[in-house]
């Protein structure tokens, strides 16, 4: 499986770059359509690849050493407290316990973990604690089960604790956090609510959850289905631990956090991951299997330091190097064959995809008033788009890197080609029956 013909791939990439069709239109098209393969930025560990290798009998360590060059997988201390952003640039949020006996405590100040303090208020079980932005302050209020609302003193920084955690003894409880129409359940640590000034929006609320990396944080990582093979799960746990270690201790002012809970860093979904029916315990066991003791776990090191262990869903058959994706070389993030991503039984959803993108989205991506034609002007050795050129109806041209265009147009990956020259007057939600485009590198892998 690993005797993948990279030299043949490189030749196909070059030929594909020379003869790719250009998207032309005599009129301004409503929609452009793209055909591609893979999902994600393509740098580092392919999760589909990890699954495929695990099914072939490879260990978690072997998987990691395959995708990250010249690294060592070894135990490191991992009991650091992380501040994880759960809600960014908020104007309001609500928190309540979902157990009958547990309660919340609120402190009108930032209280570090393991520091005892007298709360400013105790919020009974099922009562709702709400924070609402008002200028450069926020007002907390309590809504009890009868609907009575009691306002508390306004301020700019608070700490919230709940029973059954390391900082507040009592019955084990979880909290429900409501942000807009979304409610998420959390079990561990404590929360901080802090006003941070945004250059564009003024003051906004940042909500963070302080968690121990070793277990509380890793148990909530929702990056891989818990039903996958154990060695793939362990590889994911080690990669996630390592990525978090590379960010720990570097609080970012904009989010008041070490890490975001979304894919800007890695997906943290709270208690919902370990409480999954049937499979939640499997994920926890995978995390435990990568731990050495209560304060050390396996991590990926390069030159004795934790790496930024990038990972993503799947590729177009060859992973992407960091220098090609983002313009900066990372010694352990190089391109390697990833044939598992092109196996239908492993990656049926993203082995081939078609995406229509609206005129408005494409024009906005390039900063043009409109776009009448697109041309792929270069490809990397992995088959990804290196550059794409747009031309407006006025003849103005603008160019983007493939990764930048992928991000702005919401394409699944940079392994893409044009599905056809242009689709005019077709709804973006209903792809038309289109002629097969010239085969490009990723179609030939």
Looking at residue 377, its pLDDT comes to 97
* Chain position carrying tokens 């020259």: 421
Tell me the Ramachandran region of residue 70: left when phi exceeds 0, alpha when psi lies from -120 to 50, beta otherwise: left
What pLDDT digit, counting tens, does each position of 187-215 carry?
999 999 999 999 999 999 999 999 999 99
Q: What percentage of the chain has pLDDT greater than the value 90?
A: 86
- 118 assigned to some structural domain: yes
pLDDT at position 445 over 80 = no
Determine, yes or no, domain membership for 309.
Answer: no
Q: What pLDDT, on the 0 to 100 scale, is given for residue 98?
A: 87
Same-domain check for residues 25 and 152? no
State the Cα–Cα distance between residues 312 and 49, nearest whole angstrom. 10
Single residue among 299, 333, 356 that ends a domain in this structure: 299
Residue 75 within any structural domain of the chain:
no
Banded model confidence at residue 26, pLDDT cuts 50, 70, 90: low
Is 330:322 a contact under the CB 8 Å cutoff?
yes
Closest CA to 75 of 292, 361, 317: 292
Is 421 a member of any domain? yes
Average pLDDT over residues 164-186: 95
Mean predicted confidence (pLDDT) in 401-405: 97
Out of 233, 266, 299, pick the residue that ends a domain: 299
Q: Specify the range with the lowest mean pLDDT, choosing from 100-104, 281-285, 332-336, 418-422.
A: 418-422
Binned at pLDDT 50, 70 and 90, residue 8 comes out as: very low
pLDDT at position 81 over 80:
yes
Assess if residue 401 is contained within a domain.
Answer: yes
Is the Cβ–Cβ distance between 317 and 337 less than 8 Å? yes
Return the half-sphere exposure (C-beta side, CA atoms, 13 A cut-off) of residue 242.
29
What mean pLDDT do residues 408-413 have?
97
User: In this structure, are 164 and 260 located in the same domain?
Assistant: yes
Identify the domain containing residue 144 by its residue range: 81-299
**Does residue 129 sit in the same domain as residue 253?**
yes
| Statement to judge: residues 137 and 259 lie in one domain | yes
Give yes or no for a contact between 371 and 359, defined as CB atoms under 8 angstroms apart: yes
φ and ψ at 424, to 5 degrees? Answer: -110, 140
d(CA 358, CA 12): 30
Whole-number Cα distances in Å, 113 to 319, 415, 431: 41, 45, 53
User: Is residue 159 within a helix (H) or strand (E), and if so which, with residue range?
Assistant: strand 157-162
Which H/E stretch holds residue 67?
helix 60-67
| Confidence check: pLDDT of 323 > 60 | yes
| Backbone φ and ψ of 325, nearest 5° | -75, -45
Average confidence (pLDDT) over 350-371? 97
**Using one digit for the tens of pLDDT, what is the confidence trace for 42-61?**
999 999 999 999 999 999 99
pLDDT of residue 420: 64
pLDDT confidence of residue 140: 97
- Same domain for 155 and 21: no
Domain for residue 65, yes or no?
no
Residues 256 and 351 in one domain: no
Contact 129, 104 (CB under 8 A): yes
- Looking at the fold, whether 368 and 288 belong to one and the same domain comes out as no
Q: Does pLDDT of 439 surpass 60?
A: no
| 131 — pLDDT class (breaks 50, 70, 90) | very high
d(CA 254, CA 258): 10
Picking from 19-23, 64-68, 220-224, 418-422, which range would have the lowest pLDDT averaged per residue? Answer: 19-23
85 and 189 co-located in one domain? yes
Domain assignment present for residue 427? The answer is yes
Whether 135 and 241 map to the same domain: the answer is yes
Residue 184: strand pairing partners: 177
DSSP state of 440: -
Residue 157 lies in a domain: yes
pLDDT at 427: 34
Q: Which residue has the higher pLDDT, 396 or 8?
A: 396
Domain co-membership, 149 together with 240: yes
pLDDT in tens, 82-118: 999 999 999 999 999 988 889 999 999 999 998 999 9
Q: Which of 146-150, 232-236, 438-442 has the lowest mean pLDDT?
A: 438-442
Instruction: For the chain, give the mean pLDDT.
Output: 89
Same domain for 114 and 224: yes
Say what the pLDDT of residue 171 is.
93
| Same domain as 220, residue 353 | no
pLDDT band at 27 (very low <50, low <70, confident <90, very high): confident
The predicted model scores a pTM of: 0.87
Regarding predicted confidence, which is higher, 101 or 343?
343
Structural domain ending residue among the three candidates 269, 299, 329: 299
Q: How many domains does the chain have?
A: 2
């Amino acid at each position: 499986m690993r005797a993948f013909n990279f030299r043949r791939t490189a030749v196909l990439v070059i030929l594909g770059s020379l003869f790719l069709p250009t998207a032309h239109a005599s009129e301004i098209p409503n929609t452009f359509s793209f055909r591609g393969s893979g999902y994600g930025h393509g740098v580092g560990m392919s999760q589909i690849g990890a699954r495929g290798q695990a099914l072939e009998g490879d260990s978690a360590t072997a998987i990691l050493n395959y995708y990250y060059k010249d690294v060592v997988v070894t135990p490191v201390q991992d009991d650091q407290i992380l501040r994880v952003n759960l809600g960014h640039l908020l104007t309001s949020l609500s928190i309540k316990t979902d157990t009958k006996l547990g309660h919340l405590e609120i402190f009108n100040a930032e209280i570090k973990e393991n520091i005892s303090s007298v709360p400013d208020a105790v919020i009974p079980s099922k009562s709702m604690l709400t924070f609402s932005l008002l200028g450069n302050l926020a007002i907390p209020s309590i809504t009890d089960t009868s609907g009575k609302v009691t306002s508390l003193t306004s301020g700019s920084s608070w700490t919230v604790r709940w029973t059954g955690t390391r900082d507040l003894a009592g019955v084990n409880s979880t909290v429900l956090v409501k942000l807009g129409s979304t409610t998420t359940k959390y079990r561990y640590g404590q929360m901080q609510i802090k006003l941070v000034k945004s250059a564009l929006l003024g003051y906004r609320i940042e909500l963070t959850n302080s968690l121990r990396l070793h277990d509380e944080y890793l148990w909530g990582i929702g990056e891989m289905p818990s039903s996958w093979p154990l060695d793939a799960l362990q590889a994911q746990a080690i990669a996630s631990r390592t990525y978090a270690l590379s960010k720990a201790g570097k609080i970012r002012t904009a989010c008041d956090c070490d890490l975001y809970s979304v894919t800007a860093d890695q997906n943290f979904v709270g208690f919902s991951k370990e409480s999954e029916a049937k499979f939640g315990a499997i994920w926890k066991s995978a995390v435990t299997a990568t731990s050495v003791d209560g304060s050390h776990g396996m991590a990926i090191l390069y030159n004795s330091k934790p790496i930024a262990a990038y990972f993503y869903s799947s590729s177009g058959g060859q992973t992407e190097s960091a220098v090609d994706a983002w313009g900066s070389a990372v010694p352990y993030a190089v391109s390697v064959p990833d044939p598992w991503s092109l196996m239908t039984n492993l990656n049926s959803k993203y082995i081939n995809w078609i995406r229509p993108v609206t005129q408005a989205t494409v024009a906005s991506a390039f900063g043009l008033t409109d776009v009448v034609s697109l041309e792929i002007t270069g490809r990397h050795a992995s088959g990804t788009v290196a550059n794409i050129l747009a031309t407006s109806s006025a003849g103005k041209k603008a160019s983007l890197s493939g990764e930048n265009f992928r991000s702005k147009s919401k394409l699944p990956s940079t392994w893409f080609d044009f599905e056809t020259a242009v689709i005019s007057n077709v709804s973006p939600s209903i792809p038309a029956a289109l002629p097969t485009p010239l085969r490009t590198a990723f179609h030939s892998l």
